[in-house]
Structure 1
Amino acid sequence: MTTPRLSPLSLALLLLLALMWGSSFLFFEIALRALPPLTVTLHRVGWAVPVLWLILRASGQRIPRGWGVWGAYLVLGLLNNVIPFTLIGWGQTSIESGLAAILNGTTAFFGAIVAGLLLADERLTAGKLAGAAIGLGGVAVIMGPSALTSFDPRDLGQLAILGAALSYAFAGVWSRSRLSGQDPIANAFGMVSASAGLSLALQLAVLGPPKLSLALETWAVIFALAVLSTALAYVLYFRILALAGATNLLMVTLLVPPVAILLGWLVLDETLPASVGAGFGLIALGLVVSDGRLLPRRGKKPASG
Structure 2
Amino acid sequence: MATSQPKPNHAVELSLLLVLATLWASSYTFIKIGIDTIPPVTLIAARTLIAGGILVLIMRWRGIRLPRDGASCRNFAVQACLNSVMPFTLIAWAERSIDAGLAVILNSMTPVFTFLITWLWSQHEATSLRKLAGVVLGLAGTCIIVGSQAFAHVGQELTAQLAVVLATVCYAGAAIFGRTFKNLDPMAPAAGSLLSGAVILLPLSLIVDRPWTLAPSGASILALAGLAVFSTALAFAIYFRLIRTLGSVGATAQAYLRAPIGIAIGAYFLGESLSEAAWIGLLCILAGVAFMTVPERTRKAAVQAA
TM-score bracket, normalised by the shorter chain, equals: 0.7 to 0.9
Give the counterpart of 2:94 among 77, 84, 91: 91
Distance 1:6 1:128, change over 3 A: farther
- CA distance in structure 2 between the partners assigned to 1:17 and 1:145 by the alignment: 28
- CA distance in structure 2 between the partners assigned to 1:152 and 1:126 by the alignment: 34
Q: Deviation digits for residues 48-79 of structure 1, max 9, x if unmatched?
A: 12211221112210121201001100011011
* 1:125 to 2:128 alignment: yes
Shift of 1:43: 1.9
Match in the other structure for 1:63: 66
Match in the other structure for 1:246: 248
* 1:163 to 2:166 alignment: yes
Give unpaired runs (5+ residues) of structure 2.
Answer: 1-6
* 1:223 to 2:228 alignment: no
Match in the other structure for 1:299: none
Give the counterpart of 1:42 among 45, 55, 58: 45
Larger mean CA deviation between 94-103 and 20-29 belongs to 94-103
Shift of 1:17: 0.3
Distance 1:73 1:271, change over 3 A: same
- Is the partner of 2:281 in helix, strand or coil? helix
- Give me the identity figure in percent: 33
**Which structure shows the bigger proportion of residues in helix conformation?**
2
Shift of 1:109: 0.4
Q: What is the one-letter code of the residue matched to 1:202?
A: L
- Is the partner of 2:211 in helix, strand or coil? coil
Match in the other structure for 1:151: 154
Cα contact 1:26–1:264 (8 A) shared by 2: no
Shift of 1:224: 0.6
Match in the other structure for 1:281: 283
RMSD across aligned positions (CA):
2.5
Match in the other structure for 2:193: 191
Shift of 1:39: 2.0
Give unpaired runs (5+ residues) of structure 1.
Answer: 297-301
Cα contact 1:96–1:147 (8 A) shared by 2: no
Shift of 1:127: 2.7
Q: What is the one-letter code of the residue matched to 2:205?
A: Q
Q: What is the one-letter code of the residue matched to 1:122?
A: E
Cα contact 2:98–2:161 (8 A) shared by 1: yes
Give the TM-score taking structure 1 as reference length.
0.88
